[in-house]
Amino acid sequence: MVADIVELRIDYIKNVDLKRLLEKRTKAVIVTNRPVREGGRFTGSEEERIALLKLAIRLQADYVDIEHDSIQHIRRDTVHRVPTKIIVSYHNFRETPDDLTDIYKRLSQSGADIVKIVTHANNITDNVRIYQLLQQSQTPTISFCMGELGIISRILYKRFGSYLTFASLQAGKESAPGQINIHELLNTYQARRQDTHSAIYGLIGNPVSHSISPVIHNTLFKELNFNGIYVPFKVDNIGDFIREFRGLDVKGYSVTIPHKESVVNYLDAIDPIAKKIGAVNTIVNTGGQLVGFNTDCEAAIKVLEGVNQVSAKYLGETYLKGKKVTLVGAGGVARAIAFGLKERQAQITIINRNYERAQSLARDVGCLVRKFDETQSLDTDILINATPVGMFPKINETPIDKHKLKPNMIVFDTIYNPIETKLLKEAKAQGCKTINGLSMFVHQAAAQFKLWTGQMPSVEIVEAIAYKHLA
């Protein structure tokens, strides 16, 4: 059994034999009998429900979880004669209310051993309020947010100061919204290594569920014995997020679609290269000051220069000079690549579905621009996709019609999940030389890790971790 404590949800079990179940336990057990009004499945009478919880106490269950509006039915003089610890719980499936402190005070005065406050996150900043509650609590407290936006509070339970967290045995067996499975908690997020001093890092983006960055960076933290934890931050409003999360003292961020450009306005300082590009993919917390960097640019150029190893060997960084490059996209990744190509004196043409954005980028870089529907014929040496078209889960999409691809053209897709996109499959079939986005991802991730920790991980190790996970 991988868990430290097992929650026995008897509201899910028909005709439960509580005596037999508790006699057979090999781990500490929480007995919970959640009524429908609190998101559970017990449909009997309140008297029947409470009777089962009282039986669990007589049978000396390690913990019994009882709702805040039913705690008066459990007599403390009965509990004091047995080792069972009482958890008094409050659930709000709609929101994270403003009166969390008042709710905590009411529950902590109930006489229970442990307070449990679980709310629904409608905004990722609700997690900060849970963190603040846990920092102020005097009684042992379990607290986190439910829902997709609350996942980070479940993962960061030790760092936040929660008594425990909950995980499902496997995907699809969740007992509450936003619950992750135990293997992900232990393997991806290295939960057993976490403590109240773990440095928090994470990925700012939307979507973030496809990203392998948590696997990469958490594995590197473990391999290099660094006390850090990396989590996904699904962010809609970048300004609110940066402002609210300063209170958590997050030590570093990766930044992905769609925030690479907009985040610049909310940072304290920008590295000169990132400032020139106008896009940030890495943030470092330096003594409370958030400083933006861009590791995409160098990573992309390294990959492109390495595609022709003979040329790269004899000509150094001049391989791209004079090459015709068609760059699809006008977002943060496209900006980084465009400025890197310009520095190498490539002949760049920007195309994008949003022509105004393409024009804006072309003006900033000083290169050509074409309308997306004008690409009947691609006269280019290198084609680069810097858009999310074709990214998991929409793997059957492609930004360029396969009939426009020509043999000997180099086709580089910055997407790494899947490793071989539809664009790359069709390019290979047309006789093109292809480069997947994993190469670029690996280089930029290694550079990020060094900016955060001062340690440069082996690119080969990062690549091996990535391939193992994606395979």
Radius of gyration over every alpha carbon of the chain, rounded to an integer in angstroms: 27
pLDDT, tens only, 156-170: 999 999 999 999 988
Predicted local confidence at residue 80, as pLDDT? 59
pLDDT, tens only, 48-68: 999 999 999 999 999 999 999
- Alpha-carbon distance of 227 to 203, in angstroms, equals 17
Residue 370 to residues 10, 145, 208, 310, 349, Cα–Cα distance (Å) = 64, 47, 31, 32, 7
Mean pLDDT of all residues in 387-411: 94
Work out the pLDDT band at 412, boundaries 50, 70, 90: very high
Residue 341 to residues 215, 258, 346, Cα–Cα distance (Å) = 30, 22, 5
pLDDT, tens only, 298-357: 999 999 998 765 444 444 456 899 999 999 999 999 999 999 999 999 999 999 999 999
pLDDT at position 184 over 80: yes
Q: Which residues participate in catalysis according to the annotation?
A: 91, 116, 260, 296
pLDDT, tens only, 221-270: 999 999 999 999 999 999 999 999 999 999 999 999 999 999 999 999 99
Indicate the domain borders of the chain: 1-195, 298-439
CA neighbor of 203 nearest in space, from 29, 448, 7, 19: 448
Determine what percent of the chain is predicted with pLDDT higher than 70: 95
Task: Report the CATH number of the 1-195 domain.
Answer: 3.20.20.70
Predicted local confidence at residue 313, as pLDDT? 41
Q: What is the CATH topology of the domain spanning 298-439? A: Rossmann fold (3.40.50)
pLDDT, tens only, 139-158: 999 999 999 999 999 999 99
CA neighbor of 415 nearest in space, from 319, 329, 301: 329
CA dihedral for 389, 390, 391, 392, sign (positive or negative): positive
CA neighbor of 296 nearest in space, from 255, 349, 347, 249: 255
Which of 35-49, 270-284, 310-324 reaches the highest mean pLDDT?
A: 270-284
Say if residues 128 and 248 touch (Cβ distance below 8 Å): yes
Identify the three-state secondary structure at position 205.
strand
Residue 262 sits at φ, ψ, to 5 deg, of: -65, -30
Predicted local confidence at residue 76, as pLDDT? 60
The predicted model scores a pTM of 0.91
Predicted local confidence at residue 312, as pLDDT? 42
Mean pLDDT of the chain: 93
